[in-house]
Structure 1
Amino acid sequence: MMLKLLIALTFIAMLASLAAGAGFLLKDASSSRRTLTSLKLRITLAVVLMLLLIYGFSQGQLS
């Protein structure tokens, strides 16, 4: 149950980072690095999500 909650929270954080990145892209000047920071965070969250899914399937907690 805890693993599924972590997966859901990671996915929601990825969506929030995506929305923030889109907002930064539309509002910020071209010299702003907030869009790049948002992308780095989203990539990190995607890796964490993949690791959680691999762990869950390998341990039989996810079917």
Structure 2
Amino acid sequence: MFLKALIIIVFLAIVISLVLGSRFLLNDTSSSRRLLTTLKWRIVLTGLLMVLLIYGFWSGTLTSH
């Protein structure tokens, strides 16, 4: 149950990062680095999500019914 909640939290963080990044893309000046920062966070969070999913299927916590 803890793993599923953690997966949901990480997924929601990815979505929030995506929304913030699109907002920064539309509103910031070209010299702003906030868009790059949100992209970096999204890449790290996506990697974490992949690790959690692989671990969940490997340990049997998540099943593919």
Paired residue type of 2:15: L
- Tell me the TM-score normalized by structure 2: 0.96
1:60 Cα deviation (Å)? 0.2
| Deviations 1:11-61 (CA, angstroms, capped at 9, x unpaired) | 000000000000000000000000000000000000000000000000000
**Structure 1 segments of 4+ aligned residues over 2 angstroms from their partners:** none
- Matched residue, 1:56: 56
**Aligned residues with identical type, % of pairs:** 57
- Tell me the TM-score normalized by structure 1: 0.99
Find the residue that maps to 1:7 and give its secondary structure.
helix
Counterparts of 2:4 and 2:23, CA distance in 1: 29
Unaligned runs of 5+ in 1: none
- Matched residue, 1:6: 6
Unaligned runs of 5+ in 2: none
How large is the RMSD of aligned CA atoms in angstroms?
0.2
Counterparts of 2:28 and 2:60, CA distance in 1: 45
Paired residue type of 1:54: I
Q: How does 1:30-49 map to 2 (within 5 A)?
A: 30-49=30-49
